[in-house]
Amino acid sequence: MTESTKFVSYDLLKSGQNYDDLYAILKSFPVHHKITESFWMVNTSLTPMELRNKLLTCLDDNDRLFVINYASGSNSAWHNSIEEFKTDLVREDL
């Protein structure tokens, strides 16, 4: 599979949580950018689900994580996200 851009958003909910392991994984991709405090871009051949599973290794059970592929017909995977947004997901068909 060829590389594509993935966007990663997370909330680490435990007070005083250590971000080092999460940052290490995100920075391990040759192309990576910290866009906002908890929103990153990485280029990888991993699927959103594969990337989510890799990042879950350094999160607590109550943390939130959202990974989306930046492409037409996008795929996404999430963990502990609010339910309301799921009905509003729209895929642009070309």
Residue from 36, 32, 43, 31 nearest 5 by CA: 43
Distance CA 55, CA 49 (A): 10
In order of 3, 49, 62, the CA distances from 41 in angstroms are 12, 15, 23
The number of beta carbons lying within 10 Å of the beta carbon of residue 34 is 13
DSSP state of 5: E
Whether 65 and 71 have beta carbons less than 8 Å apart is answered as: no
Distance CA 29, CA 25 (A): 7
Print pLDDT tens along the chain (94 aa). Answer: 688 888 899 998 877 777 899 999 999 998 888 888 898 888 898 999 999 999 999 998 889 999 988 776 667 777 876 666 666 554 433 3
pTM, full prediction: 0.78
